[in-house]
Amino acid sequence: MCRAAAVTVLIGVAVACRQQATTVPTAGAVVTFRVVNETFRVSLMRDDAIAAARRAQAGGPARIPVGRIASGAEVNRGWSWHLEDVGFAEAAIELCDGRPSDVERDGPAFGGGRYCPWAAEIVTIHP
């Protein structure tokens, strides 16, 4: 009886460890976007966000990066802002569309606090 209980506990621990391993985030990726003649960079830490960026780069329908504007450059060298909680959309409202220099000029208030450049193209994805 004790042996059966011990085996059950070990199986439960093994299953829990395997489930945790699949939810551990990757080391992340830095994605460089071009908007007309300007570039900006975002840091993606979640596997699903990195996969969405790769689909966008390959021509998938959800190609517009959408993120919350935050102060501080982080990986976005050359600018005083960066994006957080970045996802990809097929369409976005015009309020948050623009160039990186528009965000620089208006700061985190640009686009109601969100940036979604319609003309953005992924230049590189570095893991």
**Does 2 map to a domain?**
no
Q: For residue range 29-43, what is the model confidence (pLDDT) as tens digits?
A: 999 999 999 999 999
Q: Residue 119 pLDDT > 50, yes or no? A: yes
In the predicted model, what is the mean pLDDT of residues 119-123?
98
**Does 104 map to a domain?**
yes
Q: What's the pLDDT at 26?
A: 59
**Does 72 map to a domain?**
yes
pTM assigned to the model:
0.79
127, burial (CB in 10 Å: exposed 0-12, middle 13-18, buried 19+): exposed
**Does 9 map to a domain?**
no
Give the helix/strand (H/E) hosting 124: strand 121-126
Question: What's phi and psi for 79, nearest 5 deg?
Answer: -125, 165
Q: What's the pLDDT at 14?
A: 36
- The backbone region for 69, taken as left when phi is positive above 0, alpha when psi lies in -120 to 50, beta otherwise, is beta
Q: For residue range 87-113, what is the model confidence (pLDDT) as tens digits?
A: 999 999 999 999 999 999 999 999 999
Which residues fall within 8 angstroms of residue 114, CB to CB, at 6 or more apart? 66, 67, 68, 69, 96
In the predicted model, what is the mean pLDDT of residues 3-30?
47
> What's the total number of domains in the chain?
1
**Does 71 map to a domain?**
yes
Residue-number span of the structural domain to which 84 is assigned = 29-126
User: What is the rounded average pLDDT for all residues in the chain?
Assistant: 86
Do 64 and 92 contact (CB within 8 A), yes or no?
yes
**Does 8 map to a domain?**
no
CA distances from 112 to 32, 43, 46, 91, 98 (A): 23, 21, 25, 17, 12
- Alpha carbon distance 9, 27 (integer Å): 31
Least confident window among 7-11, 30-34, 119-123: 7-11
**Does 80 map to a domain?**
yes
**Does 20 map to a domain?**
no
Q: Residue 63 pLDDT > 90, yes or no? A: yes
